Amino acid sequence: MSLLEIVQKCDSAPYGPLTDYYTFTAHEGTPLGYLTPLVVKELKKETDTVAVDDEKKTVTILAQLDTCEKRTEAFVRLGDKWRAAKLFDVLEGWRNEKYAIYNPTGTVYFLMERAVTALFGVVTYGVHIVGFVPGKTAKDARIWVPRRALNKPTWPGYLDNTVAGGVGYPASLWETAVKECGEEAGLEPSYVEPRLTSTGVVSYLYRATDDLSDELSVIQPEVEYVMDLEMDEATIPAPADGEVESFELHTVDRVLELIKEGKFKPNTALITIDFLIRRGVIGVEQPGYVDILCHSHRKLPFPLLK
């Protein structure tokens, strides 16, 4: 596959109006996410939490849920009920971790269980870190690439970024990054903190399938905060929490081969391509260069963390 095709596998939701989906909105009408008809069918039973308008194709949080706490409690109850009833496979990956959904001012509108967020198509946030050993030139750098554990519920055995993790509430981005380095790669905060550099974000709308009869047709808007970790030759990351099978140190050329062979999880392929663009390894001569950049930094139509 070409690099553009790889990136499009991650930013895979169509551009333009998503007429087959309902819009999930705040009580005053602010769009918060996209909903599949499968999810809306269940939401029509939740009349104490949302109102469904089939003509406008909207699902709106009731105005009576007029505080962050009330909204959070309502969606905790809803998630617990759906999980107990085994309505959706995604809920088998329950994390007991809350993600924040924001309003237009960038403040928290309510909190939602991480496993439930995919069903509501709300924006989620992660931190992705590329650990690399520099060389004489950017093309001489080597990248630490982990293989996901074979028992992972999603993308088992695929290649990943050196360290990655979702940003749960109320953790900060930096706190999450340092914590994940310890949990996933066995790297101490005293090693990570002076070497870790924040380098930007990528954003995309991911959809695994366009078959609306399939639960995987949910649309997932994601913002990933990207960080670089410059490492020395002597430091070797090691699996620490069971989520990683192994780490290998690959040349840039080998990493590009593995990306094109489809060995990477889609969003981590995109983030690795972003790293190689920022380091000057991939340049303007790359076919589809502008489209690659656009698909890596998609404007999301929902309120975001400020």
Q: Report the CATH number that the domain containing residue 77 is assigned in CATH.
A: 3.30.750.160
Are residues 274 and 293 in contact, defined by beta-carbon separation less than 8 angstroms? Answer: no
- In the listed set 119, 145, 178, which residue is the last one of a domain according to the structure? 119
Within-domain flag for 143: yes
Burial of 102 (0-12, 13-18, 19+ CB in 10 A): buried
Q: Is residue 96 domain-shared with residue 245, that is, in the same domain? A: no
Q: How many angstroms separate the CA atoms of 268 and 216, rounded?
A: 19
Q: How many angstroms separate the CA atoms of 201 and 134, rounded?
A: 22
Q: Is residue 157 domain-shared with residue 76, that is, in the same domain? A: no
Q: What is the predicted pLDDT for the residue at 152?
A: 86
Within-domain flag for 306: no
Q: What is the predicted pLDDT for the residue at 178?
A: 98
Q: Is residue 144 domain-shared with residue 51, that is, in the same domain? A: no
Q: What is the predicted pLDDT for the residue at 154?
A: 86
Within-domain flag for 304: no
Within-domain flag for 303: no
Q: Is residue 258 domain-shared with residue 288, that is, in the same domain? A: yes
Q: Is residue 291 domain-shared with residue 147, that is, in the same domain? A: yes
State pLDDT tens for residues 58-77.
999 999 999 999 999 999 99
Q: What is the predicted pLDDT for the residue at 241?
A: 81
User: Which segments of the chain have a pLDDT < 50?
Assistant: none
Which residue range forms the structural domain that includes residue 111?
22-119
Within-domain flag for 305: no
Q: Is residue 228 domain-shared with residue 247, that is, in the same domain? A: yes
Quick one: tokens of 223? 């913002």
Q: How many angstroms separate the CA atoms of 172 and 238, rounded?
A: 24
Q: How far apart are the first and last CA of the chain?
A: 35
